[in-house]
Amino acid sequence: ETGVTQSPTHLIKTRGQQVTLRCSSQSGHNTVSWYQQALGQGPQFIFQYYREEENGRGNFPPRFSGLQFPNYSSELNVNALELDDSALYLCASSTLRLAGGSRETHEQFFGPGTRLTVL
């Protein structure tokens, strides 16, 4: 197990509602990323936070927003839910650091995910 936890495990919402998903990073990690995974597809990158600042974002609209807290835990907020938002939402933590010779490391360790169903 990675030590990355997510809550809740499952969630059912109706179209138009708002949802907040939570993630607790692995101890010592300073970077958190969020992904959306539809059935049978690979994870789609939503955004990444490094030391509480967003430092990367995929092709998702502004109604997908996030926060990273000083203890490196994180939230994903989705406003105005749409039916297509139904998916597995994955959180991944990592340590973005320079490892000798300015090489960054990006290994990401995933949590179990939150299954969101929008009706």
Residues binding another protein (CB under 8 A) = 2, 4, 33, 35, 40-45, 48, 55-58, 90, 92, 103-113
Question: Closest distance between another protein and the C-beta of residue 111, in Å?
Answer: 5
Question: Closest distance between another protein and the C-beta of residue 58, in Å?
Answer: 7
The closest alpha carbon to 104, from 37, 45, 55, 47, belongs to 55
Structure tokens belonging to residue 3:
């030590």
Question: Closest distance between another protein and the C-beta of residue 16, in Å?
Answer: 28
Distance CA 90, CA 113 (A): 4
Q: Terminus-to-terminus CA distance in the chain, angstroms? A: 32
